[in-house]
Structure 1
Amino acid sequence: MSMPSDLRSRKRLATRQGISDAATRLFLERGFDHVTVDQIAAAADVGRMTVFNHFPRKEDMLFDRDEALREMLRRSLQERDPAVGPVETLRRLAHRLVAEDSPSLRFSPDSERFAATVEGSATLQARARAIRDEIAGMIAQTLAATAGRAPHDPDARLAAGLLLATWSAALIEAHGVYRAGHDAPAAQAAFLALVDRGSRGIGAAMAGTPYA
């Protein structure tokens, strides 16, 4: 008898999560560049090829929440209240994520080690930049689609670039605040303050477009 598809999916997701958890623990303990795929496979109790079946790139094991973040941003824009502009929609999303203590915006010793691990590896820094650019492209396409404009609308690309720059700057500032005083509420406040300020600037820059 074949295994039900939902059970297969749960097993696959559990295996993927186990690999990511093992890899992240090793990366934080030893540094990304000092951990091999074979060591990750052994720690997760799977074969080397199983690791690559779930994660074609070693660095994606650390950035395993990337897809969920993209989907959350896409859905927020696609399902937004028509009376609320895209910039304000994402500003409100930032506040909701902080209020819900989302893992993506949780500042803690673990997040401090995560940031230090990324900063300590040129490979991880390059992947982080690539992810940022990919998300900017996805947001631009989603903005254009929801506004009924061409996929490569320059206004949508500008709005997306400004949004990603704002969130990136806010995250960097928040991690710096946490590193300096280990004060999570202060780090979250710093993040939201920059998101709010940047959102006002983006709204002014995009005035007269469907993206303000």
Structure 2
Amino acid sequence: MSTAPDRRSRKRLATRQAISDAATRLFIERGFDQVTVDDIAEAADVGRMTVFNHFQRKEDMFFDRDAEGRELLLAALAGKAPEQSPLEALRQLAQQLVREQHPALAFSERSSSFVAAVGASEALKARARAIRDELEAALAQALARSAGRAAPDADAEFAAGLLLASWSCAYLQAHQQYRHSADAAQAQAWFLARAEQGCAAVRAALAGTPYV
């Protein structure tokens, strides 16, 4: 009985992915600000309204995996062992993502082009800041929940802000290393070293709280 809905769901996901892939290719080739929604629709072989049925704004096609990153963070906190601190669960997640070569922490020509495209567009930089703010709020709530505290909690908000700031800086610096060396392993090692420093800073700042 569920065959038709499943088929429709698969078709919808395939169309969304085709739009995203076409948009990403065009953004990297031409630059984000030089690509129109009509260009994307034509490249994906769909109508303009189909594009907007899947994405509210052009920026969302560029950052189409931000929800996945958020879910990884929240799942790490929700699934942590009782004896494990929230900060340790997130620290181990970063290690795991690098170990498993997850696309979120891959360093390649493609990811380098992605970072460069963000830096070249004020619209993308603004959207990146908004996504970061949304992620920080969601992470603070999840941290409070994992520590058995009611949200909003000032310590959880502080921890989320410090951790994301250090990881963002680590990611951008690692890409700078990659652009100079074209060595993905070296870039990953740089990211992990900086991420560890960030976790140490959060641990020191929130000593005595259930987050560390």
Same-fold call, TM > 0.5?
A: yes
Name the Cα RMSD after superposition.
1.3
Tell me what 1:99 maps to.
Answer: 99
CA distance in 2, matches of 1:88, 1:3: 42
Aligned runs of 1:10-49 on 2, under 5 Å? 10-49=10-49
Extract structure 1 runs of 4+ deviating beyond 3 A.
Answer: none
Asked if the contact 2:86–2:146 (Cα under 8 Å) also holds between the matched residues in 1, the reply is no
Amino acid at match of 1:19: I
Offset of 1:204 from its aligned partner? 1.3
5+ residue gaps, structure 1 = none
Aligned runs of 1:1-212 on 2, under 5 Å? 4-212=4-212
5+ residue gaps, structure 2 = none
Q: Deviations over 1:101-128 (max 9, x none)?
A: 1111111111111111111000001111
| Partner SS state of residue 82, structure 1 | coil
Amino acid at match of 2:5: S
| Partner SS state of residue 207, structure 1 | coil
Offset of 1:187 from its aligned partner? 0.4
Asked if the contact 2:174–2:188 (Cα under 8 Å) also holds between the matched residues in 1, the reply is yes
Asked if the contact 2:86–2:147 (Cα under 8 Å) also holds between the matched residues in 1, the reply is no
- Taking structure 2 as the reference length, the TM-score comes to 0.97
Amino acid at match of 1:46: V
CA distance in 2, matches of 1:115, 1:183: 16
Amino acid at match of 2:23: A
CA distance in 2, matches of 1:46, 1:100: 35
Amino acid at match of 1:41: A
| Partner SS state of residue 107, structure 1 | coil
- Taking structure 1 as the reference length, the TM-score comes to 0.97
CA distance in 2, matches of 1:150, 1:90: 20
| Partner SS state of residue 39, structure 2 | helix
Give the paired residue count.
212
Asked if the contact 2:166–2:195 (Cα under 8 Å) also holds between the matched residues in 1, the reply is yes
Offset of 1:148 from its aligned partner? 2.4
CA distance in 1, matches of 2:21, 2:86: 34
Offset of 1:3 from its aligned partner? 6.3
